[in-house]
Every structure is written in C-alpha cells, then in structure tokens.
C-alpha cells in the first residue's frame, strides 16, 4: 500500500470517529464558526469539531506544523478535502485569518510574527478583519490616506477604513497604512497588524440595499501600535497588499463556483436550481415551457460548468507553481459576473415571488433569494471591481501597454 493510500485510510478512520453527526449535515449560516475571543457556538458540536480539527492542524492543512498547521503535502491535503467531502463535513472554521492573512504572513512575516499569530489563526482563537478600502480609496486603493507615524517605538495611526467586514466582531485587523507621503503612492504604504481592542479604535455598522450587513466603517484616532507589528519592509506594504488580494479573489471567485451547483440550502428547496425554480413556478414538469428562459438558463449552466472546469484546471496548474497567479483576476471577474447572472435568472424564474421583502405571502427561502440577489451586486465590487480585474488581466496577463499606469504614477 502506498503512503498516500495509508494516509487516506487513517484519515477516513479518524474522521469517522471524530466528526460529530450534526457536522455532517449541510451548513446553515447561523452555525458558521468564525472563531475569535468572543466565538459563538450555536451548536455545541461545532466547538468540539473545531477543537478536534485544530488539534491536528487540519483547519489549515498545508500550513507548516511548526506554526500549528497540518504540515500536509498538497497531495495529502487533496485527500483530506476529498475525505471531508465524502462525509459531507462542514468546514470546522471559516476566517479571514485562514483565507487571507495567514498565507501572506507565512510568506512575508518574521519568525516571531508567525509564532505569535499563525497558531491562533489555526485554532480560531483570534478573529481578523481587513483594513483596506477607505472612503476616498476604492478601486484606487493605493491612494489610501490612513497615516502611521513612528513615535518612539510605536506607530501612531490616524484615519478611517470602510467596508471592513465584521470589524465589530473582529479581534485584530490587518491594515494598510501610509508611512510615507512624499513618494509615489504605491511606494509609501506599509502593512501592519493591531488589536481592535486598542484605545482609539471604533466601528460603526453599514446597512446595505439588501438589509443588514457585516460591513462597518472603522475609525482610528491616535491608535498606538508597537513598531514590531509592521509586516515585511517599511513602505513595501503594497507588495503584500497585492498578494493578499490574490488570495481574496480566489476566495470570492468560489462564489461563482458555488453558483453553478444546484445545491443551495438543501436539495428539497424549490429554488435549489434555477431551472428547477423556473419549472416549479410555471407548473411545468419535464421540460421548461418558456423557450427563451430555457435557452438563457442553458447558456448560464454551460458557462457555470465551463467555469467550474477552469477553476479545477487552475488548481491542477497551480500544483506545478506556487500560490495563486494572475488568473485569480480572471476567475474573480468571471465567477462574480456568473453569480450575478444566476440571481437575475432566478428572479425571472420565480417572478413576483422573488421580490418579497419581509412578512406574509412569501416562504423563507423566497425572501432569502430577494436579499441574496441584492447582495450579489456587491460581488463585482468587493475585492476589486470587475473593471479593475479586467485592467489587471490586460496588463499582467496580456501584456498590453499601460496608459492607466502613467496616470497612477502621478
């Protein structure tokens, strides 16, 4: 028996023994485990599942064991994910520490920084938020103005961030700050970590068109941060920022991946698939009676399948290289546009039953579609707009001449 086969067998046996029964059912939004100092466990088995997975480092399977990660090879990690999928296991932990900060900290952080932060990410002890966008710096992120000035051995931070997801629930923030105002904008940015409990940090939630949201405005008023919390070189934060954005895009593009699958809130739901919903609300069986909608749904499903294959190919190709590559921009662009298309089609499929806001006359999953449709509009804005992704593809992948860059340098 090969070593990989042995790994598969022992993993399967361990999961059989250690994955609690309720963790083998479809995830419900209220029970997603984000971790952190004030972690909530609506379902007690979620805590047990997190503790067991974290003890093996399997919340972050490929991260080095030295920092608490699973230390698995890529092949082993694939086997683990296959075995988790086999029993329909829920993710033990969901966090921006895992999907965004951890990978860049492992790449650019000092040994001390890794020792301090990585194990806590793996165990879900600290919940992170992302301090990137500012009121005046959206697509032109590098124009950010939040300043950090060195006073003694502390940076003093002043400014504000916006669209900070879960800032009101997070324990720490990874933040882009300007440390030099005299140089071209990309060259004066640093990447710094600090505790959201620090004096001078405040947050205010933002309500979106879809209703409540995880987004916040975040304000920094003379926040003192130890100088050792700066990651990488002073004024070289843009390099880390871009790298982190690649990881973020990879995460967001998975929305598009999910949009091609018919499982949505359980297979029994009438809105589980666009075509299923279209037939249900028309009283059709066997064949969708509206030929125009049928053609559009078929086109959407074809693009979804093609996109899923492309994501899979990208994973296979990245096994040969290290980390995400420029195709993350393409995947982010396409995946987000696909998800928006899905919701527009779902609205057509469901007619007026997709347009309820609250109260009587609508099923819970119908009201959820309304909110999700509105929320999907942000997919092509957050993590870099679709237009910014196309700029990146044009410049970095296709090598087209950069007129915008000349403007940006100013």
Partner 1 sequence: MALVLSEDQQLLKDAARNFCQQNSPIAVLRRLRDEKNPRGYDEAIWKQMLELGWTGMAVPEAYGGFEFGYAGLGIVLEETGRTLVSSPLIASTLLSSTLVTIAGNEEQKTKLLPALVAGEILMCVALDERAQHQPQNIASTAQKEGDLYIINAEKTFVLDGHIADKLIVVARTSGAQTDRDGISLFLVDSSAEGVTITRTIMVDSRNSARVELSDVRVPREALLGEEGQGYAALEQVLDIARIGIAAEMLGSIESVFAAILEYLKQREQFGVLIGSFQALQHRAAIMYSEIELCRSVIRAAVNSLDDPECSVDERAKYASLAKAKLSEVFELVSNEGVQMHGGIGMTDEFDIGFYLKRARVAQQFLGDACFHRDRYATLNQF
Question: Residues 214, 276, 371, 408: which binds partner 1 (CB under 8 A)?
Answer: 276
User: CB of 182: closest distance to partner 1 in angstroms?
Assistant: 29
Q: Which is nearer to partner 1, 46 or 391 (CB)?
A: 391
- Asked if residue 407 binds partner 1 (CB under 8 A), the reply is no
- Asked if residue 282 binds partner 1 (CB under 8 A), the reply is no
- Asked if residue 390 binds partner 1 (CB under 8 A), the reply is yes
Q: Taking CB under 8 A as the criterion, which residues in 321-360 touch partner 1?
A: 327, 330, 333-334
Q: Which is nearer to partner 1, 20 or 138 (CB)?
A: 138
Question: Residues 140, 184, 306, 361: which binds partner 1 (CB under 8 A)?
Answer: 306
Q: Which residue of the set 76, 83, 134, 248 is catalytic?
A: 248
Question: At what angle are helices 274-282 and 327-350 packed, to 10 degrees?
Answer: 10
Judged by CB under 8 A, the number of residues near partner 1 is: 43
Rounded Cα distance, 258 and 339, in Å: 8
Q: Which is nearer to partner 1, 197 or 406 (CB)?
A: 406
Q: Taking CB under 8 A as the criterion, which residues in 246-265 touch partner 1?
A: none
Question: Residues 193, 297, 345, 350: which binds partner 1 (CB under 8 A)?
Answer: 297
- Residue with tokens 């503790």, as numbered in its chain: 51
The reply to whether 248 belongs to the active site is yes
Residues 167/197, Cβ–Cβ less than 8 Å:
no
Q: List interacting residues with partner 1 (CB under 8 A).
A: 275-276, 278-279, 286-288, 294-295, 297-299, 301-303, 305-307, 309-310, 312-313, 316-317, 327, 330, 333-334, 387, 389-391, 393-395, 397-404
Query: Which residues are marked as active site?
Result: 248
């Amino acid at each position: 028996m090969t070593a990989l086969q042995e790994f598969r067998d022992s993993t399967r046996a361990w999961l059989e023994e250690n994955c609690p029964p309720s963790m083998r059912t479809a995830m419900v939004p209220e029970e997603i485990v984000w971790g952190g100092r004030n972690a909530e466990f609506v379902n007690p088995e979620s805590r047990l599942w997190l503790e067991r997975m974290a003890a093996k480092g399997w919340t972050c399977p490929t991260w080095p064991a030295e920092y608490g990660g699973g230390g698995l090879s890529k092949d082993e990690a694939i086997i683990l994910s296959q075995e988790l999928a086999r029993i329909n296991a829920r993710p033990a932990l969901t966090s921006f520490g895992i999907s965004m900060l951890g990978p860049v900290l492992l790449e650019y952080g000092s040994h001390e920084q890794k020792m301090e932060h990585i194990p806590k990410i793996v165990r879900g002890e600290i919940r992170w938020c992302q301090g990137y966008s500012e009121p005046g710096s959206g697509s032109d992120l590098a124009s950010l103005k939040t300043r950090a000035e060195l006073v003694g051995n502390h940076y003093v931070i002043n400014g504000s961030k916006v669209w900070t997801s879960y800032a009101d629930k997070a324990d720490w923030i990874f933040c882009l700050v300007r440390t030099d105002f005299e140089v071209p904008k990309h060259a004066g940015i640093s990447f710094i970590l600090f505790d959201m409990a620090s004096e001078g940090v405040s947050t205010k939630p933002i309500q979106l068109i879809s209703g409540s949201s995880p987004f916040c405005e975040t304000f920094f008023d003379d926040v003192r941060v130890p100088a050792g919390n700066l990651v990488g070189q002073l004024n070289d934060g843009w390099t880390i920022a871009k790298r982190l954005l690649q990881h973020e895009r990879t995460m967001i593009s998975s929305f598009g991946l999910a949009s091609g699958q018919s499982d949505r809130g359980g297979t029994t739901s009438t809105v589980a698939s666009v075509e299923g919903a279209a037939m249900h609300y028309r009283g059709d069986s066997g064949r969708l009676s509206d030929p125009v909608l049928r053609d559009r749904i078929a086109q959407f499903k074809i693009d979804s399948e093609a996109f899923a294959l492309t994501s899979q190919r990208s994973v296979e190709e990245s096994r040969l290289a290290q980390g995400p590559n420029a195709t993350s921009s393409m995947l982010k662009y396409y995946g987000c546009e696909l998800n928006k298309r899905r919701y527009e089609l779902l609205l057509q499929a469901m007619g007026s039953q997709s347009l309820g806001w609250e109260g009587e006359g609508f099923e819970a999953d119908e009201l959820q579609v309304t909110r999700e449709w509105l929320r999907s509009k942000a997919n092509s804005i957050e993590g870099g707009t679709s237009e910014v992704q196309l700029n990146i593809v044009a410049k970095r992948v296709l090598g087209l001449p950069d007129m915008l860059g000349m403007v940006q340098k100013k």
